[in-house]
Amino acid sequence: MSSMDSATIDREDDGIRLDRWFKRHRPGTPHALLARWARSGQLTLDGKKADVSDRIEAGQKLVMPTPPVEAVARPARKGRPLTDADIELAESMLIHRDASALVLNKLPGLATQGGTKTESHVDGLLDALKFDGPTRPKLVHRLDKDTSGALLIARTPRAAAYFAKSFSNRSARKTYWAIIVGVPDIAQGEIDLPLAKQPGSGGEKMHVDEKGLASKTRYRIIERAGNSAAWVELQPLTGRTHQLRVHMAAIGHPIVGDGKYGGKGAFLTGTISRKLHLHSRRLRIDHPDGGSIDVSAEVPDHFAASLDALGFDPLLGEVGIDDAPKGPAPKAAAKAAAKAHSKQIRKARRGERRGRTATSKPTDHVGKPKTAKTTRGPAKTGGRKPQKPAPQKPAPRKPR
């Protein structure tokens, strides 16, 4: 019979999975062996049988068989040496710092993580932001390379597990600003279009697909520049890849500068920058130590210049979807219109829609409903069916 070992769960490991604890503190223990210990009841937390997928809590007592090899500390992460310019860049993006979290205002054009032919990225700069923390900071969510704005970084393993859970259960609130081409017909509403990876794109591009994953985005028009462009606030209610970009393009109003999903129609003429105009403006999330984090990130130079060029008032963006004064409940007609708008978009994506009459006009772009002429009745009756005259009673007979 194998000898038994025990450990008390540290505060920094609060909330993580049990198998993750073993990777951190008993890296020589194979996962298959852990699973066997769990099935046989040899893994316990506070005296109760535990599973490798259980979430552990600080202060719990873990009892386990002695690992087959001596546990060693996790080796330090290796990366390229940071230059003075790297350190300066990392520190210049920092807009919030506490014992558990950092928030960066990520620059447009800077990738969040590395990849093929991507050497400069946020993850590679995190050693410059360790400060007095116990471990290297860790990413807990992502922003697209060309999207700017608030990006949350965890400073401890415990905070990373807590924040990851907040993003997965949608309790974290993210608010984006975007400048879009054209103006939606409805000033405030919800886009409900399922998304999936586009075949043949290598997973690098998404598209609307009825069989895809449920995807919802709330939007509000902040201000419009005639009919050419609008400044909008966006809230992703789900977290699909490129969700905001695909949704806005799908309703016929791509984000300015998003050639990937909007094609040539995603660019405005004049002095408006060709860079992507999508910015993570505000991040609200509960803090692992109590309270919450609520941070706003200033827009990058190209976005600010476009706001000015289009004549938008920066103060109008400060009242968001959640912060707007609470008025009376929306009318049933408004609700029905928003629902019909979303339904119309889904129908347009399926293909050509059947017209009610031969004179129906086809849609000119996705998201715009078709119009149809209604037939009218004869002019003399105003379109109504003529009424039959009432039967007359026979005249009474005279007596003889």
Catalytic (active site) residue 192: no
Q: Are residues 158 and 283 in the same domain?
A: yes
What local confidence, expressed as pLDDT, does residue 345 receive?
Answer: 61
Note the pLDDT tens digit of each residue in 42-99.
Answer: 999 999 999 988 988 888 999 988 865 444 444 444 556 889 999 999 999 999 999 9
In a domain, 324, yes or no: no
CATH of the domain at 27: 3.10.290.10
CATH of the domain at 153: 3.30.2350.10
Q: Are residues 132 and 281 in the same domain?
A: yes
Task: State the Cα angle at 257 between 255 and 262, rounded to 5°.
Answer: 60
> What is the C-alpha to C-alpha distance for residues 358 and 379, in angstroms, rounded to an integer?
21
Note the pLDDT tens digit of each residue in 258-298.
Answer: 999 999 999 999 899 999 999 999 999 999 999 999 999 99
Q: Are residues 59 and 173 in the same domain?
A: no
In terms of residues, how long is the chain? 400
Q: Are residues 40 and 109 in the same domain?
A: no
DSSP 312-378: --GGGGGS-TTTS---SPPPHHHHHHHHHHHHHHHHHHHSPPPPSSTTPBPPSSTTPPPB-PPP---
In a domain, 281, yes or no: yes
> What is the C-alpha to C-alpha distance for residues 90 and 127, in angstroms, rounded to an integer?
9
In a domain, 131, yes or no: yes
Q: Are residues 100 and 41 in the same domain?
A: no
Query: Which position among 144, 146, 192, 258 bears the catalytic label?
Result: 144
Report the C-alpha dihedral over residues 145, 151, 218, 257, rounded to 10 degrees: -30
What local confidence, expressed as pLDDT, does residue 9 receive?
Answer: 87
Q: Are residues 239 and 101 in the same domain?
A: yes
Q: Which of 318, 339, 357 is the last residue of a domain?
A: 318
Q: Are residues 144 and 199 in the same domain?
A: yes
Going by their DSSP bridges, the two strands 229-236 and 216-225 should be labelled as antiparallel
Q: Are residues 47 and 108 in the same domain?
A: no
What local confidence, expressed as pLDDT, does residue 372 receive?
Answer: 37
**Beta strands per DSSP E along 115-193:** 138-139, 148-154, 173-181, 188-192
Q: Are residues 30 and 146 in the same domain?
A: no
Single-letter code of the amino acid located at 155: R
In a domain, 99, yes or no: yes
Containing structural domain, residue 11: 4-64
Going by their DSSP bridges, the two strands 206-208 and 195-197 should be labelled as antiparallel
Q: Which residue has the higher pLDDT, 321 or 27?
A: 27
Q: Are residues 147 and 273 in the same domain?
A: yes
In a domain, 161, yes or no: yes
The count of domains in the chain is 2
Provide mean pLDDT across the span 223-230: 96
Note the pLDDT tens digit of each residue in 131-172.
Answer: 988 789 999 999 999 999 999 999 988 898 899 889 988 899
Q: Are residues 39 and 160 in the same domain?
A: no
In a domain, 126, yes or no: yes
In a domain, 392, yes or no: no
Q: Are residues 93 and 232 in the same domain?
A: yes
Note the pLDDT tens digit of each residue in 171-194.
Answer: 999 999 999 999 999 999 999 999
> Could you give the C-alpha distances from 81 to 87, 93, 125, 358, 383, in angstroms and in order?
10, 19, 10, 69, 82
